[in-house]
Amino acid sequence: MSYIPVKPTKKQRLLDQGVALLMEKGYHGSGLKEILETVQIPKGSFYTYFDSKEQFAAAAIVHYIEPFIARLSGHLQNPQLNGLQALQLYYQELILEVERHGFKGGCLLGNLMGEIGDTSSLCREALQTTVKRYCDLQASALLRGQQQGVVRSDRSAASMADAMFNAWQGALLRMKVEHSLQPLIDCCDQLLGDYFRQP
């Protein structure tokens, strides 16, 4: 039986393009006209799915995290990896992707937190929900590592997952300024390779 790929819906295409533009130009630099021309749908079709640009951006935030959730979940389902190894492999792959993209982009969540996190209540709520979901998944990996005896147990898995997210966002900012993978490598080495480990 041959695999027949599912054609993305108009809404999925809109969100894919929205994520790409928000990554490249930010919220204020991304215009609806440009999005609609790229996806080649009329303005009326856009308003079938979204009431405003702000609502569209909030949906793009939720859409953005899905492939990251799926990838990490896949590693966590690998019985040959403990919780810590799953996280390490996941972040190694992210670092390779950053290098392939020439140190551009960073993380949409971090970018929008800095740009509109305190001006758009709708996007702020989407960011909070998405970050929590992402951190909760990483916390589940660290909790498994604790149960397997490879992650320190004197810190909660949730607090370590938050520390990883915060440190990674800071490392991404330095990466963009320095055009270097070293901040990302150091973040992973210091946390996943040292601080989180069971002594």
pLDDT tens sequence across 17-62: 999 999 989 999 988 888 888 778 888 888 999 999 999 999 999 9
pLDDT tens sequence across 120-163: 999 999 999 999 999 999 999 999 999 999 999 999 999 999 99
Q: Which superfamily does 10-195 belong to?
A: Tetracycline Repressor, domain 2 (1.10.357.10)
The ranges assigned to domains in the chain are 10-195
Q: What's the pTM?
A: 0.90
Q: Please spell the DSSP secondary structure of the chain, one letter per residue.
A: ----PPPPPHHHHHHHHHHHHHHHHHHHH--HHHHHHHHT--HHHHHHH-SSHHHHHHHHHHHHHHHHHHHHHHHHT-TTS-HHHHHHHHHHHHHHHHHHTTT----HHHHHHHHHTTT-HHHHHHHHHHHHHHHHHHHHHHHHHHHTTSB-SSS-HHHHHHHHHHHHHHHHHHHHHHT-SHHHHHHHHHIIIIITB--
pLDDT tens sequence across 166-189: 999 999 999 999 999 999 999 999
